[in-house]
Amino acid sequence: MMLGRILPASIVGLILFFLAFPIVVVAIVSFSSATYLTFPPPAFGLRWYEAYFSNPDWLKPTWVSLWVAAAVVVLATFLGTLAALGIARLPKGLRIVAASLILSPLIVPGIVVAIGIYYAYARYGLVGTPIAMVLAHTCLAVPFVVTSVTASLSGIDPRLEQAALSLGATPGATFFQVTLPLIQPGVLVGALFAFITSFDELIVALFISGTGAVTLPRRMWDDLRFQIDPTIAAVSTLTIVLTAALMGAAHLLRKRAERNRTAISSAAA
């Protein structure tokens, strides 16, 4: 196409290089054999992965992060899916108020959320407990569940539910046998987003993880204050692989759901 003539591919290539290169460098540095941070590495090895997997100071925060994220997934997916089902049928005024409250963590600056939560949670002695991390991260994860489930709800052909009801299914049976299977990919995508939101979260963790619930990002942050040895590169590479795998899964799930939906709709028609 003629756009090509005014937009040399090399410019786009350079900007894409700018986007990808820092991530690639972190991955390469993580396999360095050097005891300090240097690029390109003099030789390659797994010493920084060994350093990570043999150090309880790294492994303990990793488990805290994984457990907190898992609990957030359960809580946020349950509350978020229920709410998405309700919000779609609320009267308009109420729906806008509810959606604004639920989606606001996407807009309110992270530091404002973090110190607000710290201010209140400190009063009730929650700071430094994994429970506080779960309670706070759930609020940040819920918008992703609600938007994902709402999107899959809006894609459902209403005739499918009507057909079930008119064939004598109870509203409960209609929900469990028709609606729920149809929104299931949306629920799963929301759950994956919830996991990553919690697993990667740092600002709230800085204020409320205290000494009793240090998460992996918080541990990385503390470490960076004193040194930037390549252990962090190894940890970073592992988290990049984990989040990219989960996000890739979410992406594929969403695409498959879109294809299925059109297939079901055209079969029903």
- In the window 249-268, what residues touch another protein (CB under 8 A)? 251
Residues in region 25-54 near another protein by CB under 8 A: 25-26, 29, 37-39
Q: Which is nearer to another protein, 6 or 269 (CB)?
A: 6
Instruction: Select the span of 8-16, 41-49, 62-70, 155-163 touching another protein (CB under 8 A).
Output: 8-16
Note whether 2 binds another protein by CB under 8 A. yes
Note whether 68 binds another protein by CB under 8 A. no
* Residues in CB range of 231: below 8 A, 6 or more apart: 48, 51, 52, 55, 58, 223
Interatomic CA distance for residues 204 and 118, integer angstroms? 8
Work out the burial of residue 211: count CB atoms within 10 Å of its CB; fewer than 13 is exposed, 13-18 middle, 19 or more buried.
exposed
- Return the residue of 41, 116, 130, 210 that touches another protein, per CB under 8 A: 116
Note whether 192 binds another protein by CB under 8 A. no
Q: Which two tokens stand for residue 252?
A: 């594929």
Note whether 165 binds another protein by CB under 8 A. no
204-233 footprint of another protein as x/- string (CB under 8 A):
--xx---------x--xx--x---x---xx
- Inter-residue contact 133 to 208 (CB < 8 Å): yes
Note whether 128 binds another protein by CB under 8 A. no
Long-range contacts: 28-32, Cβ < 8 Å, 24+?
29/230, 29/233, 30/230, 30/233, 30/234, 30/236, 30/237, 32/230, 32/233
Cross-strand partners of 32: 44
Q: Which is nearer to another protein, 38 or 268 (CB)?
A: 38
Note whether 20 binds another protein by CB under 8 A. yes
